[in-house]
């Protein structure tokens, strides 16, 4: 993948990816169509199955998931809405994966046109110091590749089990 | 959210890995899972409880039978843990944006 990391800041996680899509399409899919691609099966905080994710298209708008029973769980709010190039959201989900409006970590997404059909998307999740003593634990989750060694040995054993 | 560490711990036990493997291709009852294994049905039930707690296995009632199968949420959580939260999210977004761009180019 076209993924890149910058080192340094312990209070921030940065990622970038290049897409074969025009800037306006990238913006629209990220915002309007977030419900079609956000990995809701694993990234949701409500008790029930989540069926949609929504970003309300304005500064001050809510950012939330909708459950199959119609209930909603807030994730944060829209801090800057600058189509088609910049989106700033607050990420108010605490280290126990509960909504906490006082948390206010920030998620900035920049859409940079690099060609007619090529967009670079940069994501920065910052102010992670707001997680306090759990900052390092949370930064690992947001940023890091897990323990590949442990997983590979696990899958090796699973594969061995499957072939017997 | 499902805890990846919990998943790895659940699969750290050889009997549980064997049970998990038996559910990979279809759902099975406790009796079917226990068939040919050196463990008792109550022990299989205990292992299933741990796998279920880790989000790896789910149970559905079909008539009077309880059938166990793989819970994809556990698999998803494990993948997220490996990739990192924002990596996985960006990859999912990339696929969606490229799909949409290809669709609009055809119009």
- Partner residue facing A97 (CB), from B1, B12, B100: B1
Q: What's the gap in Å between the CA of B51 and the closest CA on chain A? A: 15
What CATH number is given for A12-163 in this structure?
3.30.530.20
Instruction: State residue B2's pLDDT score.
Output: 59
Closest residue in B to A150 (Cα) is B8
Instruction: State residue A4's pLDDT score.
Output: 38
| Cα distance between residue B84 and residue B49, in whole Å | 27
Tokens, residue B16: 């549980």
Instruction: State residue B84's pLDDT score.
Output: 80
Interstrand relation of A72-82 and A86-91 (parallel, antiparallel or unpaired): antiparallel
**Taking a C-beta distance cutoff of 8 angstroms, is the pair B10, B53 a contact?**
yes
* Residue-wise pLDDT tens digits, B44-102: 999 999 999 998 999 999 898 999 999 887 877 777 767 688 888 898 899 999 999 99
- Partner residue facing B86 (CB), from A20, A125, A150: A125
Mean pLDDT of A63-82: 96
Q: Is B62 helix (H, G, I), strand (E, B) or coil?
A: strand
Q: Establish if B58 touches chain A: CB-CB under 8 angstroms.
A: no
Residues 22-61 of A with CB under 8 A from B: 22, 25-26, 28-30, 33, 36-39, 41-45
Q: Establish if A155 touches chain B: CB-CB under 8 angstroms.
A: no
Report whether pLDDT(B1) > 60. no
* CATH domain B4-106 topology: Arc Repressor Mutant, subunit A (1.10.10)
Most confident option among A148-152, A157-161, B30-34? B30-34
Q: What's the gap in Å between the CA of B63 and the closest CA on chain A? A: 24
Mean pLDDT of A59-73: 95
Tell me the domain boundaries of chain A: 12-163
**Taking a C-beta distance cutoff of 8 angstroms, is the pair A70, A51 a contact?**
no
CA B43, distance to chain mean position in Å, is: 20
Instruction: State residue B85's pLDDT score.
Output: 83
Cβ neighbours of B15 in A, within 8 Å = none
Instruction: State residue A151's pLDDT score.
Output: 54
Interface contacts A/B by beta carbons within 8 Å? 115
Instruction: State residue B32's pLDDT score.
Output: 93
* Residue-wise pLDDT tens digits, B17-48: 999 989 988 999 999 999 988 899 999 999 99
The DSSP string of chain A is ---------TTEEEEEEEESS-HHHHHHHHHTTHHHHS-TTTS--SSSPEEEEEE-SSTT-EEEEEETTS-EEEEEEEEEEETTTEEEEEE-B-TTS-B-TTT-EEEEEEEEEEETTEEEEEEEEE-GGGGGGGHHHHHHHHH----HHHHHHHHHHHHHHHH-
Evaluate the omega torsion of the peptide bond into residue A47 and state whether it is cis, within 30 degrees of 0: no
Q: What is the pTM of this model?
A: 0.68
Q: Establish if A116 touches chain B: CB-CB under 8 angstroms.
A: no
Closest residue in B to A12 (Cα) is B86
Expressed in percent and rounded to 5, the helix, strand and coil fractions of chain B are 65, 10, 25
A29 with B88: Cβ contact below 8 A: no
Tell me the domain boundaries of chain B: 4-106
Instruction: State residue A1's pLDDT score.
Output: 36
Predicted complex ipTM exceeds 0.95: no
Instruction: State residue A27's pLDDT score.
Output: 94
Mean pLDDT of A56-81: 96
Burial of B66 (C-beta count, 10 Å sphere; 0-12/13-18/19+):
middle
């Amino acid at each position: 993948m076209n993924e890149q990391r910058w080192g340094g800041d312990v209070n921030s996680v940065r990622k970038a990816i290049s897409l074969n899509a025009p800037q306006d399409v990238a913006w629209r899919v990220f915002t309007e169509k977030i419900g079609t691609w956000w990995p809701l099966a694993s990234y949701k905080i409500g008790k029930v199955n989540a069926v949609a994710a929504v970003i309300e298209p304005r500064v001050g708008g809510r950012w939330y998931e909708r459950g199959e029973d119609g209930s909603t769980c807030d994730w944060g709010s829209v801090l800057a809405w600058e189509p088609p190039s910049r989106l700033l959201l607050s990420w108010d989900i605490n280290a126990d994966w509960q909504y906490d409006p006082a948390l206010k970590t920030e998620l900035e997404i920049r859409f940079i046109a690099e060609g007619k059909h090529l967009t670079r998307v940069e994501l920065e999740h910052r102010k992670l110091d707001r997680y306090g003593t759990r900052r390092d634990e949370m930064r690992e989750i947001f940023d890091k590749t897990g323990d590949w060694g442990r997983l590979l040995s696990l899958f090796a054993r699973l594969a061995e089990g499957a072939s017997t | 959210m499902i805890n990846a560490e919990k998943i790895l711990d659940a699969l750290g036990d050889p009997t549980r890995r064997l049970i998990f493997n038996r559910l990979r291709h279809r759902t099975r009852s406790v009796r079917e899972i226990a068939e040919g294994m050196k463990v008792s049905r109550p022990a299989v039930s205990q292992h299933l409880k741990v796998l279920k707690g880790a989000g790896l296995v789910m149970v559905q009632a079909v008539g009077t039978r309880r059938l166990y199968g793989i819970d994809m949420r556990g698999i998803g959580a494990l993948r997220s843990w490996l990739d990192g939260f924002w990596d996985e999210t960006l990859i999912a977004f990339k696929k969606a944006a490229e799909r949409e761009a290809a669709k609009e180019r055809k119009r």
